[in-house]
Amino acid sequence: MEPSHFNRNYLEIRTIRRPSRAAAPVKEGPRANEEIQASKVQLIDEEGQNQGVVSIEDALQRAIDAGLDLVEIASKGDAPVCKITDLGKMKYQSQKKAAEARKKQKTIDVKEIKMRPNIDKHDYDVKMRAIHKFFDNGDKVKVTLRFRGREMAHMELGMQLLQRVKEETLDIAKVEAEPKLEGRQMMMVLSPKS
């Protein structure tokens, strides 16, 4: 006998449907084999030789005979260019190329150095060492000076400090954004010279 809390609905097998408003999944990569809709194609065989314009049935049969796939390379024109090749190998090679390209990319980060207008000499030296390290890594540096309370009355001290930073980094960096005041902060952006 079944327990009273047991519900028969848990035993039903339900099919999972795509919501009515969701778009159909998009196929990535080139069209291959039966997906090619043209009646005639410009065929390139597995050795890379141009075979001219042939019917799609003939091209598919040649691909099946070679044990490979018919892949659409260029879809422009009346007869799209199709090649007999291994589709899986082609996709793998394109993924490898994309991964290699991503590996070679250099992302440039913007690092921020925060200072105060009345910074101590030792603290200033530590911040300058950090700025030099960021430039060695190829990153941009945003120098931010924050004013508190009565320091707002002495903006010239902040401007002198930013000019000093600019002069000390002149040989390795260029000023991308000149010092400007935004509220209680003064900012300047430096980028490394290539």
Q: Which domains does the chain have, with CATH numbers?
A: 33-90 (3.10.20.80), 110-192 (3.30.110.10)
Please state, rounded to an integer, the average pLDDT across all residues of the chain: 83
pLDDT, tens digit, for every residue of 154-187?
888 889 999 999 999 989 989 988 888 888 899 9
Q: 14 pLDDT exceeds 70?
A: no
Query: Where is pLDDT greater, at 59 or 21?
Result: 59
Most confident option among 14-18, 92-96, 129-133, 175-179? 129-133
Mean pLDDT of the region 38-55: 85
Contact, 82 vs 36, CB < 8 A? yes
Predicted local confidence at residue 152, as pLDDT:
84
Could you give the percent of the chain with pLDDT greater than 90?
A: 23
Six-digit token string for 97: 């190329």
Six-digit token string for 189: 């952006």
Query: Where is pLDDT greater, at 12 or 153?
Result: 153
Contact, 188 vs 178, CB < 8 A? yes
Q: Confidence class of residue 123 from pLDDT cuts 50, 70 and 90?
A: very high
DSSP calls for 82-149: EEEE-HHHHHHHHHHHHHHHHHH--PPPEEEEEE-TT--HHHHHHHHHHHHHHHHTT-EEEEEEE--G
Q: Confidence class of residue 20 from pLDDT cuts 50, 70 and 90?
A: low
Q: 54 pLDDT exceeds 60?
A: yes
Mean pLDDT of the region 63-92: 85
Q: 77 pLDDT exceeds 80?
A: no
Predicted local confidence at residue 132, as pLDDT:
93
Q: Confidence class of residue 126 from pLDDT cuts 50, 70 and 90?
A: very high
